[in-house]
Structure 1
Amino acid sequence: MTVRIDLDRLAPEPERLSRRLDELAAFHDPDHAGWSREVFSDPYRASREWVRAQMIEAGLETTVDPAGNIIGRLPGKDTSAPALVTGSHTDTVRQGGRFDGIVGVIGGIEVAQRLRETGTRLERDLLVVDFLGEEANEFGISCLGSRSIAGILAPEHLERTDGTGLRLGDAMEGFGLSPGAALGSGWRARDVHGYVELHVEQGPLLERSGHGIGVVTAIAGIDRLLVHFAGQTGHAGTTPMPDRHDALVSAAAAVLTVERVGCGAPVHGVATLGSIDSAPRSMGVITDEARLWAEIRSVDGNWLRGAQKQIVDEIAAEAGQRGVGVDFEWLTDQDPVPTDALVQDMIAGAADGLGLDWKAVPSGAGHDAAHLARLGPMGMVFIPSVGGRSHCPEELTEVADIARGAHVLAATLVDLDHRDKPVSIQ
């Protein structure tokens, strides 16, 4: 039997959304521009208590799991039924913004609070999750909390070290978490009815097209690359140009190779250069060692695999002409993940029902949603980013757009709740 719910009554309160955004923004590292709340930092630790308090204020039963995920539960009529899940993250990149991830947590809390305030009882529990450490970090692994929930946080991940030699497992312990228990804290697929995440687009497509809602079609795969160049030192003034084996020049040429490959993507693909490090860093000495960090992203797995081969072949060929040796190390952060087709339809239908224009868009960013897709049908709701800016202090999404996105999230969750059974995982 279909139960009709007045979705207009679930409209979020923009003033409360705005207040919570402002309050959370107060937790940041004052030594950096913008809003820096990196995983395991003191501002992040302080903000976690604030998030818990907001979930409690919203009427949610709140717990923290061994991996540090903050989970708020709004009980449904049948607490034994597979749960609905929403959420995102509240950590930021260094010198980041106020909206990336944060909108999904605050929006999820608002949806749960409006359900409770209006006396709207779902058939099943609704879980709102603030996932630990979604952003890339010094340990080279993102989405720590959602990986744990998805059951794919591995022992070797805990052995990774940062630039100081600190193990990830030790960093987690120092933050009051239980890394060993986090390895065994994965949820069962049969316990998840579906996952829907609200997020700012972080790009320009919605703003340019004039659409207020984005229905995400897929989350990009991310492949990260470390290239080590081994050349030969020599005197900068006496070594003839044809006799040089300059590792830094080969690394510089590789920068343009990576960019050129990214520009050649037929549909959706990007390439980004992270940094170059070299030695001996002397104007009077030819560089004999350099390291380059880069990444490529696309929702097209075939393009990613082809781009990997093209990058390796072209960099190796150019370096070989200079007599410079190269070693390549690829790290796949995540494979491309399509969103569930029927959840896409539900998000689009929710937007239509609320009189909002929507557009199907890919996500070039990584998200916790990509890992939750292992547990059940997954979808994402995007809202516009002003100027397409993100991961910077200028990041901005208007409160009115956040409220519209939260309303679509609420309508989608209500629709998903009344499905007789979860739609199939793709």
Structure 2
Amino acid sequence: MENYLHRANNILTRVRDLACISEETHCITRTFGSPAFVSGCRKVLSWMQEAGLEARIDNIGNVRGRWNCGQPGARTFVIGSHIDTVRNAGCFDGPLGVIIGLDLISRMQEEHVQLPFNIELIAFSDEEGVRFHTTYLGSNTVAGTFQPSLLDKTDNNGITLREAIKTIGGDPEKLQADAIPAEDWMGYFEIHIEQGPVLYEDKLPIAIVHSISGQQRARITFKGIPGHAGTVPMDRRHDALCGAAAFILAAEQYALQHKDELLATVGTLHIADPASNVIPGEVTITLDLRSSDKLILKKARRSLRDIGFRICSERHLTADWAIMQKSMPVECDTALSHLLAQAIVAAGYNVKNLHSGAGHDAVTIAAVAPVCMLFVRCYKGISHQPLENVEVNDIAAAVQVADHFIHHLTEVYQTR
């Protein structure tokens, strides 16, 4: 175990080093295409190069390190996670999986392991979707499912995704060439913090992810009539903010009524031309819906849309709905998850299976390859904020399990 703790401490040091690269001095923020993002990519690239991998940054900003086994016709097994963050983030969400993957590959190279397949380590560029409200930009590119229409999406400053890609040195016309062909995929493995309290409360360091929730994001703009706060009577107002507020509470109530199968979150709110003495005339919010059942997800979106229009009718407002992103629920691969369970047992831990309510790059990759995921315990399940933390012993457990998993995978693949 001492060796695993040593490796875990080295991983933790690199996680902390990457966390020092941020758009803001007082917190961790590293959104797609920012100077901090570019600097972070270069840092990870240098680590991959030090490990002897064929490393590069592709056109969407993914950092990719490849270890070719040298066998003709060999397929590729991808290990990955993301290195972009939400605003005011923790330092483990995403980078931990990338850096554990790098440690795993470095160990195999030191031991001169003969692989029957290629390995590619990928630090995906945009899983969170903060800047352009477009989750999975990096993994969609690698999977070959990137939609060219996204290139015209703009951020809050009016900069298009196409322009942002050029700024980081990529060519938006060459994204398709960065995809791994479907026939070349062998599988995908992602290590990620749980972002929930189950492992913390159950006192377990790791767990297998058996499924991932589907997700829908919508942008809703409520439109009324702006007016003077001191002259328009209360019963004659067309207050867009009050309409948005009524909808936000209605969405919360709807999700509470279906709390065993649905989550609903309004995460952003923008008031056009805000002033303390002006009745808001236009307000835009985002709605995030998640469920493990695609039919429930579809029903929830339709029901909440109807609720929104009813609120607008009662308040003499209008509403524009725009779907920004959809992803279907995903089941992780049974065979790979079975090997992961064997690895957990071999490492001396109890096997726990969990559903993930958070989205991961595995969602996109599942469209072209079998996927599996390993969760790592985090402090009280806290994530997407500075208190996010992972103990070194839990990192060591994940490293040990990852070692056994690749060993089992190599044995199985060599017998085919």
* TM-score with structure 1 setting the length: 0.91
**1:200-224 CA distance string (max 9 Å, x none):** 1111111112222121122222211
Give the direction of change, closer, same or farther, for the CA distance of 1:8–1:355 in structure 2 (3 Å limit). Answer: farther
Q: What secondary structure, in the 3-state scheme, does the structure 1 residue paired with 2:412 have?
A: coil
CA distance in 1, matches of 2:118, 2:2: 21
User: Is residue 268–residue 299 contact of structure 1 (8 Å, CA) maintained in 2?
Assistant: yes
The count of corresponding residues between Structure 1 and Structure 2 is 416
Q: Is 1:138 equivalent to 2:131 in the alignment?
A: yes
Identity score, percent:
32
Moved more, 356-365 or 68-77: 68-77
Q: What secondary structure, in the 3-state scheme, does the structure 2 residue paired with 1:116 have?
A: helix
User: Is residue 72–residue 129 contact of structure 1 (8 Å, CA) maintained in 2?
Assistant: yes
Give the direction of change, closer, same or farther, for the CA distance of 1:275–1:61 in structure 2 (3 Å limit). Answer: closer
Aligned to 1:155: 148
CA distance in 2, matches of 1:272, 1:194: 32
Superposition deviation, residue 285 in structure 1 = 4.1
User: Is residue 14–residue 400 contact of structure 1 (8 Å, CA) maintained in 2?
Assistant: yes
Aligned to 1:14: 8
Aligned to 2:99: 106
Aligned to 1:224: 217
The one-letter code matched in structure 2 to 1:293 is: T
Q: Is 1:395 equivalent to 2:375 in the alignment?
A: no
Q: Is 1:28 equivalent to 2:30 in the alignment?
A: no
**1:331-372 CA distance string (max 9 Å, x none):** 224222221122222212211111112321111222111111
Aligned to 1:328: 321
Superposition deviation, residue 133 in structure 1 = 2.0
Unmatched runs of 5 consecutive residues or more in structure 2: none
Superposition deviation, residue 238 in structure 1 = 4.9
Superposition deviation, residue 137 in structure 1 = 2.5
**1:173-197 CA distance string (max 9 Å, x none):** 1111111101343211221111110
Give the direction of change, closer, same or farther, for the CA distance of 1:38–1:277 in structure 2 (3 Å limit). Answer: closer
CA distance in 2, matches of 1:358, 1:110: 23
User: Is residue 241–residue 281 contact of structure 2 (8 Å, CA) maintained in 1?
Assistant: yes
Q: What secondary structure, in the 3-state scheme, does the structure 2 residue paired with 1:418 have?
A: helix
Q: Is 1:173 equivalent to 2:166 in the alignment?
A: yes
The one-letter code matched in structure 2 to 1:37 is: R
Q: 1:21-420 alignment to 2 at 5 Å?
A: 21-29=15-23, 31-76=24-69, 78=71, 80-279=73-272, 281-420=274-413
CA distance in 1, matches of 2:138, 2:6: 27
User: Is residue 226–residue 279 contact of structure 2 (8 Å, CA) maintained in 1?
Assistant: yes
User: Is residue 208–residue 374 contact of structure 2 (8 Å, CA) maintained in 1?
Assistant: yes
CA distance in 1, matches of 2:153, 2:415: 37
Superposition deviation, residue 299 in structure 1 = 2.1
Give the direction of change, closer, same or farther, for the CA distance of 1:211–1:139 in structure 2 (3 Å limit). Answer: same
Superposition deviation, residue 383 in structure 1 = 0.4
Alpha carbon RMSD of aligned pairs, Å?
A: 2.4
Give the direction of change, closer, same or farther, for the CA distance of 1:12–1:346 in structure 2 (3 Å limit). Answer: farther
Superposition deviation, residue 26 in structure 1 = 2.4
Aligned to 1:4: none
Give the direction of change, closer, same or farther, for the CA distance of 1:418–1:188 in structure 2 (3 Å limit). Answer: farther
Superposition deviation, residue 172 in structure 1 = 0.6
